[in-house]
Amino acid sequence: MKKYCLFSLSILLSVVFGLQNLQGQTNTAKPRKPAGTTETPPAFDPAKDPPFLGANQVWVDSVFNTLTPEERIAQLIMIPVYSNRDQAHIDSVSNLIRTYKVGGVIFFQGGPVRQAKMTNRFQSENKVPLMVSIDGEWGLSMRLDSTTRFPYQMSMGGIEDEKLIYEMGAEIARQCKRMGININFAPTVDINNNANNPVIGFRSFGEDKYNVARKSIAYMKGMQDQHVLASAKHFPGHGDTNVDSHYGLPVIHFSRLRLDSTELYPFRQLMANGLGSVMVAHMNIPVLDNTPNLASTLSKSIVSDLLKKDLGYKGLVFTDALNMQGVAKFYPPGIVDVKALLAGNDVLLNTMDVKTTIEEVKKAIENKEITQEEVDARCRKVLAAKQWMGLDKWQPIETKHLIEDLNNPHAEYLNRQLTEASLTLLRNKKNILPIQTLDTLRIAALAIGTTTETNFQRGLARYTQVDTFFLSPNSSIADLQRMKERLQSYNLIIAGVHKLQLKAGSGTFGITAEMNLFLKDLIRTKPTIVNVFGNVYSLAKFEDVHKADAVLAAYQENELAQDLAAQLIFGGIGAKGKLPVTISNAFRIGDGLKTQGDLRLAYSVPEAVGLKTQDLAGIDALVAQAIQEKATPGAQVLVAKNGKIIYYKSFGYHTYDNQTPVQNTDLYDLASVTKISTSLAALMKLKGEGRFDETNTLGSYLPMMAGSNKENLKYRDILTHQARLQSWIPFWKTTVRKNGKFKWYTFKADSSARFPIKVADNLYIHRKYANKIYKQIKESPLNQKPGYVYSDLSFILAPKVVEAITGQKFETYLKETLYKPIGATSLTFNPYKSYPQSRIVPTEYEQHFRKQLLHGTVHDEGAAMLGGVSGHAGLFGNANDLAKLMQLYLNDGTYANKAYIGGNTVSAFSKCQFCDQGNYRALGFDRPARPGAENSNAAKSAPAESFGHSGFTGTYTWIDPTNNLVYVFLSNRVNPTRDNSKLSKLNTRTKVLQVVYKAMEKAKSSGGGAASVQQ
């Protein structure tokens, strides 16, 4: 009668509403209706047979025929195992397996290698291979350390590209198989339509049944296509409860119509798509079974009648854990298990007393409560599933490289894609995001709820200068007032809310009244961007948060989510996600704004541009070799392709004493890379503005050169190093007497009005000495023979040229017109003025002039005598900020949708000017001297169109417009002495870039889609 009623109800609803079946729409986003509307349920296809029903029955029969009646019962039992417990626990599990031949185990907390070894032992001890299971809703990391943690289902509920969720299911399945796991108890298909649900919440795909069904099907198919069984839970729907069934028995007072049209909807859809198993929840549902205190797990009306008969489900039916208080508080171990079996469940999960359970089942057979034939049929079903899972050909798990295999680059990239696609932008007043201008902003990055620097703050700092502040969760009113005063001078606050309690039912998620008041006042008085890392329902607990200039929901607090949220704010990536639940009247299901990505450099992985992480491993080996052979104490290496930084690592130490490890934020002396980063940058910018012309002469821009042999030198010849200028002049030598001491009017040990310019520690030069340097250059003879000679002299004069044209100080002009606007704030002269020594990498212990370790002051003697500011040397910076300027060059003068160097000037300057005369140089830039050569100034595969520069201290940067590449290598090979030329002899800098070209060639040959490599 119940079957007839349900069937009639489905037909009636189908006729009345005429809706189409959603089967097969796993990758198609359904149009969203306005919040608050109700969609009517469609007709349902019948349940499709689970995949294991087509198993090899020969193997099933052969195994089944060897089992005793007790062993057939044991096949229906799964016992809990922990790989983080002691040997006594392992031995006790082993004893149960050997004694009773149980059918499977469910692993809980532990580690991969420990679990793999336990699995190998247990499998070798059992008569029939064990079905190994795990609760891995967001991957193995839900239970195992050292594994990839994929996003919570709630965060994926707003992802529009469901192919990503399918691929996640497939990757989780691949990791399960690598671990010898056969079934993953996922996905959670509960519809979380109760914001106070204490047990489901973030574990659900959301409150829309259609969305939950589509996402769950994608997840399920991804796993089962890899022959790992999925399990839809928690039947018949645990989403609208306010009691955690781990601790009590929720009571559901829904109507039959409500259950059929809402809670059961995703289960039906998954069944129609071949769902392998179902887990039954511990809930009391009077409309289906009005027995007091009876959990659905133990109800024959729910398991046998509704699930198996009415819905026609033929897959494996698992109980939820039988040691949970939703059932365990009413029945002792063994008794609860047999009741679950009598209700119709196929597999008993977390059986706590195996011996008693088998005895109680035998009693039930004797009492004719269940027949041996029924037990045998369920046993056969379990064996069929095991054969489909490949357990008929079980092999021991290889533990070598296990951790690496589980944390593979594909999984990392997929996790990144999922997290990026989930980020949900809920407010964006006046399109404040992505942030467009940087030089007009004074930004404070405020971490609310923590007192330590966050990954979010570090991520923001990659884009521009941000000052960090912290607001403890137990801040007093006085603390809040002090913080308000400290933030007064900032015109943009980026607030991250951290350390939120994850589960609903905790009231405020840990948000104090003081925090709430402070954030409310901050939003009212300052431009504020609010980023919530954690349970999205917490947004409802913040007063007036919807009035913030921008609100971003990241759903979870981990390094990746914070990293990507920071990228979204500055336009490295765009916003795509949609809200999968209604939070409040301000934030409703389906809300989510889109923003532009690729505005600035993004931080990603090689897979994002069609390359493979393992194909760039040669970079690590080359740098390690250089450090081992003492070619340099350490280095920073950065590779960007297609506007994405795909490789950025720091190696080694500041010096060979191995005291200070190199960090990505450390500053290096860029040496001659200064030429293209300062002088050339300024001249190209002025060229684009029509204020500089390379066909003009040096004398036309610099009156001090009037009457000299350099007055009529053309800048095209100067910038290509064929203007007959001397290579360099050792200016410092003219300051030293024969006895080795400095002339009295040149240097002093202390600063004063006459000697204010710092050259090095305890060494200050006369305030007018720069004029002597310029005079020496002016009076220096030209080379007798024409042709190419690399020279510093014109670049020493370049700041004076720029100052003459602009009326601004050279450093001021660069910082205000280029560095600050693009966020390259670490590019600076004299870093000792702004940065601690710990962040500045020292260069040489220089014995001939300054007689000290150069740390924070420029290595080049001439630049030092000019006060550290010159156009040929003197600039410091990290690889990240130098890459921004190089990316601007790659973009022909444009960055973040703004042209800083106009008129296609960069492309014109980077072209070879006199190749027909044997001079391969561009205007200021270096180019491949011998394209295709093994040991040259460029990588072997670098095309002739590529350009860049190298520096004496061990620096190098290269730009390849053909392959859309930016490369930066920073080192201090001159530490402790400039006489060390091993870095050049090893050719480390260009060989590292060649690794990238080889990876591109490999990707192209395998159809990976990376940009072509041209010889």
Give tens-digit pLDDT for 815-834.
999 999 999 999 999 999 99
DSSP state of 204: S
Tell me whether residue 379 is in a domain. Answer: yes
Contact 925, 919 (CB under 8 A): no
Residue 506: CATH number of its domain: 3.40.50.1700
Tell me whether residue 414 is in a domain. Answer: no
DSSP state of 697: B
Phi, psi of 765 (to 5 degrees): -100, 155
Residues 19 and 163 reside in one and the same domain: yes
pLDDT in tens, 737-749: 988 899 999 999 9
Phi, psi of 513 (to 5 degrees): -60, -35
Tokens of 430: 């006046």
pLDDT reported for residue 501: 77
Residues 848 and 881 reside in one and the same domain: yes
Query: How many CB atoms are located within 10 Å of the residue 218 CB?
Result: 26
pLDDT reported for residue 37: 36
Tokens of 822: 């693009």
Residues 392 and 318 reside in one and the same domain: yes
Percent of the chain with pLDDT over 90: 86
Domain final position from 551, 574, 600:
600
Measured distance CA(299)–CA(294) in Å, rounded:
7
Find the mean pLDDT for residues 357-385.
97
Measured distance CA(1015)–CA(997) in Å, rounded:
10
pLDDT reported for residue 1004: 94
The more confident residue out of 927 and 17 is 927
The more confident residue out of 87 and 326 is 87
Contact 705, 715 (CB under 8 A): no
Please name the residue that has the structure tokens 């046998």.
304
Residues 48 and 125 reside in one and the same domain: yes
Find the mean pLDDT for residues 698-727.
97
pLDDT reported for residue 238: 84
Tokens of 329: 């508080």
Cα 510 off chain centre by = 26
Give the dihedral of Cα atoms 641, 643, 647, 649; nearest 10 deg: 140
Find the mean pLDDT for residues 557-570.
97
Tokens of 453: 């620097």
Tell me whether residue 605 is in a domain. Answer: no
pLDDT reported for residue 1008: 59
Phi/psi zone of residue 270: left (φ > 0), alpha (ψ -120 to 50 degrees), beta? alpha
Measured distance CA(41)–CA(21) in Å, rounded:
9
255 CB-near residues (< 8 Å, 6+ apart): 287
Contact 941, 965 (CB under 8 A): no
Q: How many Cα atoms sit within 13 Å of 883 on the Cβ side?
A: 31
pLDDT reported for residue 474: 87
- Give strand pairing partners of 575: none
Measured distance CA(864)–CA(858) in Å, rounded:
6
Phi/psi zone of residue 42: left (φ > 0), alpha (ψ -120 to 50 degrees), beta? beta
Residues 716 and 824 reside in one and the same domain: yes
Please name the residue that has the structure tokens 């399920």.
220
Bridge-based pairing of strands 443-448 and 348-349 is: unpaired
- Mean pLDDT across the chain, nearest whole number? 93
Residues 626 and 494 reside in one and the same domain: no
104 CB-near residues (< 8 Å, 6+ apart): 77, 78, 79, 130, 131, 132, 133, 182, 347
What is the secondary structure of 253-308 as a DSSP string?
---HHHIIIIITHHHHHHHHTT--EEEE---B-TTT---TT--GGG-HIIIIIIII
- With a cut of 70, say whether residue 1012 has pLDDT above it: no
pLDDT reported for residue 738: 87
Buried b (16+ CB within 10 A) or exposed e, 138-174: bbbbbbbeebbbbbbbbbbbbbeebebbbbbbbbbbb
pLDDT reported for residue 248: 78
Tell me whether residue 123 is in a domain. Answer: yes
- With a cut of 80, say whether residue 706 has pLDDT above it: yes
Bridge-based pairing of strands 316-319 and 348-349 is: unpaired
Measured distance CA(874)–CA(690) in Å, rounded:
27
Q: CA–CA distance from 841 to each of 375, 668, 819, 951 (Å)? A: 72, 5, 21, 15
Contact 935, 599 (CB under 8 A): no
pLDDT reported for residue 504: 57
Contact 553, 424 (CB under 8 A): yes
Q: Which domain holds residue 428?
A: 423-600
Cis status of the peptide bond prior to 187, with omega within 30 of 0: yes
Tell me whether residue 647 is in a domain. Answer: yes
Residues 712 and 761 reside in one and the same domain: yes
Residues 695 and 814 reside in one and the same domain: yes
DSSP state of 47: P
Domain final position from 374, 404, 434:
404
Strands, E, within 802-841: which ranges? 828-829
Tell me whether residue 612 is in a domain. Answer: no
Residues 685 and 590 reside in one and the same domain: no
pLDDT in tens, 277-323: 999 999 899 999 999 999 999 999 999 999 999 999 999 999 999 99
Measured distance CA(972)–CA(386) in Å, rounded:
59
Query: How many CB atoms are located within 10 Å of the residue 963 CB?
Result: 20
Measured distance CA(713)–CA(666) in Å, rounded:
39
- With a cut of 50, say whether residue 685 has pLDDT above it: yes
The number of domains in the chain is 3
Where does the pLDDT of residue 1009 fall: very low under 50, low under 70, confident under 90, or very high at 90 and above? low
pLDDT in tens, 166-224: 999 999 999 999 999 999 999 999 998 887 777 788 899 999 999 999 999 999 999 99
3-state helix, strand, coil in the chain (%, to 5): 40, 15, 45
Where does the pLDDT of residue 251 fall: very low under 50, low under 70, confident under 90, or very high at 90 and above? confident
Residue 45: CATH number of its domain: 3.20.20.300
Domain final position from 600, 633, 651:
600
- With a cut of 50, say whether residue 26 has pLDDT above it: no
Tell me whether residue 136 is in a domain. Answer: yes
Residues 362 and 461 reside in one and the same domain: no
Phi, psi of 95 (to 5 degrees): -65, -40
- With a cut of 60, say whether residue 144 has pLDDT above it: yes
Where does the pLDDT of residue 11 fall: very low under 50, low under 70, confident under 90, or very high at 90 and above? very low
Tokens of 904: 């296609």
Find the mean pLDDT for residues 80-99.
97
pLDDT in tens, 756-795: 999 999 999 999 999 999 999 999 999 999 999 999 999 9
pLDDT reported for residue 638: 99
Contact 482, 445 (CB under 8 A): no
Tokens of 454: 């966050």
Percent of the chain with pLDDT over 70: 94
Residues 454 and 503 reside in one and the same domain: yes
Tell me whether residue 46 is in a domain. Answer: yes
Tokens of 960: 């390849």
Weakest mean pLDDT among 9-13, 252-256, 420-424, 688-692: 9-13
Residues 379 and 441 reside in one and the same domain: no
Phi, psi of 339 (to 5 degrees): -65, -40
Measured distance CA(974)–CA(981) in Å, rounded:
8
Find the mean pLDDT for residues 426-450.
97
pLDDT reported for residue 505: 52
- With a cut of 90, say whether residue 850 has pLDDT above it: yes
- With a cut of 90, say whether residue 356 has pLDDT above it: yes
Give 328-331's long-range contacts (Cβ < 8 A, gap of 24+): 329/248, 329/249, 330/249, 330/293, 330/295, 331/298
Residue 900: CATH number of its domain: 3.40.710.10
Contact 678, 949 (CB under 8 A): no
CA-based torsion, 775, 777, 780, 782: positive or negative: negative
Phi, psi of 938 (to 5 degrees): -135, 160
